[in-house]
């Protein structure tokens, strides 16, 4: 009988606290959103299950969590802590991204730059809300709407906030179809939403091969801190476009990115233990993340309207919303909002330019923040 009682004392039920139960419920909600609503299922499902795994309470002398040295989960989490997984995801993204739309209409790249204002305004906001400079930088990058970049930067600058930042970043990426449309409609007139874009020109293979090499040199030489992320992004793209490494490109954009996505999502979820995640700071991070995301969307749309003051062939300002780098979700939202006004208006291909420019822009922004804020206390 004593053995039975002793055993019952080691079960998860005996150590369950309200925080663990809440996090398990959040994990289940993530899984439900992924399955029922199809919100970023490739990310929310692993994160959701990871959150459940990470919040099963264990006896004090049982080391099982991602934070306990030498455990299996800790070894898997090493890739998150050391920022190994995000560059590998960027390699896969590069190998699956077609930059032809960007090459055919380069001026739309500037929309991807404008949307990064969300990052830098949030940086100021987070700092004046009491976060340290490093923490403010890690939180600000949520505005880039790029999960791997957010994880990479927070693992470098503020590892203690990694779980909250990653969950916030991926949550807002999943909620792109909910957050962006009201802002897009608020800032544009019906006439602007009806603007049609000229069809993109045909891009030669030589252009597509030269692009990743030169784009990498430009970005890395201006912001060397972005070297790892943009390096892997453009390396992946070169594998795709060179035409001689199709096997490698295929592996990068299929098996490899899938494996890393599973590990990254699961580990991030497992790192959201109630005792480290349920803190007042997490609520601030979520609020700042939402603000950052909204400002980024507004920044892109308003900059498109600003560009229209000088352009003969007007840009549909909805494209500015795709400057946040949630690829391809925000581009899809642009298409959806545009087609509500004019079902024959196809903006998706055009929206991919600011969208992938946003990926490059947020990687450069992360590089800048890393290089600058790493010197601060």
Partner 1 sequence: MDFPLLVTEAVKDQADPNMIVVAITGMIIVFAALLILTLFLTALPKILDVFNEYFPPSEHGHSAAPVAKQAVLDEDLVAAMAIALIHHRSD
Tell whether residue 182 is a contact of partner 1 (CB under 8 A): no
Q: Does 312 bind partner 1 (CB under 8 A)?
A: no
Residues 306 and 318: their CA atoms lie apart, in Å, by 13
The answer to whether residue 121 forms part of the interface with partner 1 (CB under 8 A) is yes
325 and 143 Cβ atoms separated by less than 8 Å: no
Residue number with CB closer to partner 1 (10 or 245): 245
Other beta carbons within 10 Å of 107: 11
152 binds partner 1 (CB under 8 A): no
* Residue 185 beta carbon to partner 1: minimum distance, rounded to whole angstroms: 26
Residue 128 C-alpha from the chain's centroid: 24
What length does the chain have?
Answer: 377
Choosing from 110, 195, 322, 347, the residue that interacts with partner 1 (CB under 8 A) is: 110
Using CB under 8 A as the binding rule, whether residue 311 contacts partner 1 is answered as: no
Is the Cβ of residue 223 or residue 257 nearer to partner 1 in the bound state? Answer: 223
Q: Is 242 in the site for partner 1 (CB under 8 A)?
A: yes
Instruction: Tell me the number of residues near partner 1 by CB under 8 A.
Output: 48
CA–CA separation, 233 and 317 (whole Å): 27
Rounded to the nearest 10 degrees, what angle do helices 133-140 and 348-373 cross at? 170
Contact by Cβ (8 Å): 139, 150: no
Distance CA 368, CA 363 (A): 9
Q: Which is nearer to partner 1, 13 or 128 (CB)?
A: 128
In the list 46, 79, 269, 361, the residue contacting partner 1 (rule: CB under 8 A) is 361
Q: Is 202 in the site for partner 1 (CB under 8 A)?
A: no
CB 161 within 8 A of CB 139: yes
When binding is defined by CB under 8 A, the residue of 113, 168, 229, 334 that contacts partner 1 is 113
Residues 4-33, one symbol each (x = binds partner 1 by CB under 8 A, - = not), give ------------------------------
Nearer to partner 1 among residue 23 and residue 364 (C-beta):
364
Region binding partner 1 by CB under 8 A among candidate stretches 64-72, 108-116, 177-185, 262-270: 108-116
Q: Which stretch binds partner 1 (CB under 8 A): 79-87, 145-153, 237-245, 273-281?
A: 237-245
Residue 127 touches partner 1, criterion: CB under 8 A:
yes
From first CA to last CA, the distance across the chain in angstroms is: 55
Q: Smallest distance, Å, CB 196 to partner 1?
A: 22
- The residue from 10, 28, 96, 207 that contacts partner 1 (CB under 8 A) is 207
Q: Which of 73, 229, 357, 359 binds partner 1 (CB under 8 A)?
A: 357
For residue 290, the SS3 value is helix
Residue 191 exposed, middle or buried by CB count within 10 Å (0-12, 13-18, 19+): exposed
State the DSSP string of 124-163. Answer: HHHHHTT--HHHHHHHHGGGGT-HHHHHHHHHHH-GGGHH
Please answer whether residues 300 and 111 qualify as being in contact, where contact means their C-beta atoms are separated by less than 8 angstroms. yes
Q: By C-beta, is 167 or 322 nearer to partner 1?
A: 322
For residue 150 the two structure tokens come to 């957010």
Backbone angles phi, psi at 185, to 5 degrees: -70, -35
Q: Can you give the binding site for partner 1, defined by CB under 8 A?
A: 102-103, 106-107, 109-110, 112-114, 116-117, 119-121, 123-124, 127-128, 133, 136, 204-207, 210-211, 214-215, 218-219, 222-223, 242-244, 357, 360-361, 364-365, 368-369, 371-373, 375-377
């Amino acid at each position: 009988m004593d053995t039975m009682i002793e055993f019952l004392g080691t079960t998860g039920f005996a150590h369950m606290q309200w925080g663990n139960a809440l996090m398990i419920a959040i994990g289940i909600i993530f899984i439900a959103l992924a399955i029922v609503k199809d919100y970023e299922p490739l990310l929310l499902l692993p994160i959701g299950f990871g959150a459940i795994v990470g919040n099963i309470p264990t006896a004090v002398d049982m080391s099982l969590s991602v934070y306990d040295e030498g455990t299996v989960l800790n070894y898997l989490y090493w890739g998150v802590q050391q920022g190994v997984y995000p560059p590998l995801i960027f390699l896969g993204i590069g190998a699956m991204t077609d930059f032809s739309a960007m090459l055919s209409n380069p001026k739309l790249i500037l929309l991807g730059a404008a949307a990064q204002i969300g990052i830098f305004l949030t940086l100021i906001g987070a700092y004046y809300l009491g976060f340290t400079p490093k923490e403010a930088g890690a939180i600000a990058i949520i505005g880039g709407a790029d999960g791997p970049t957010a994880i990479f930067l927070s693992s470098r600058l503020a590892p203690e906030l990694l779980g909250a930042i990653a969950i916030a970043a991926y949550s807002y990426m999943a909620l792109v179809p909910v957050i962006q449309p009201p802002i897009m409609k608020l800032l544009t007139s019906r006439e602007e939403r009806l603007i049609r874009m000229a069809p993109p020109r045909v891009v030669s293979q030589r252009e597509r091969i030269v692009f990743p090499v030169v784009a990498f040199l430009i970005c890395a030489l201006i912001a060397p801190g972005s070297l790892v992320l943009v390096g892997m992004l453009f390396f992946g793209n070169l594998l795709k476009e060179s035409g001689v490494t199709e096997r490698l490109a295929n592996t990068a954009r299929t098996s490899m990115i899938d494996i890393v996505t599973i590990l990254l999502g699961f580990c991030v979820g497992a790192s959201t233990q109630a005792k480290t995640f349920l803190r007042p700071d997490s609520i601030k991070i979520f609020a700042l993340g939402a603000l950052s995301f909204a400002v980024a969307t507004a920044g892109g749309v308003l900059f498109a309207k600003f560009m229209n003051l000088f352009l003969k062939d007007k840009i549909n300002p909805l494209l500015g919303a795709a400057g946040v780098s949630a690829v391809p979700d925000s581009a899809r939202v642009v298409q959806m909002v545009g087609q509500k006004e004019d079902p024959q208006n196809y903006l998706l291909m055009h929206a991919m330019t600011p969208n992938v420019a946003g990926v490059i822009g947020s990687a450069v922004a992360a590089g800048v923040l890393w290089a600058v804020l790493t010197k601060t206390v």
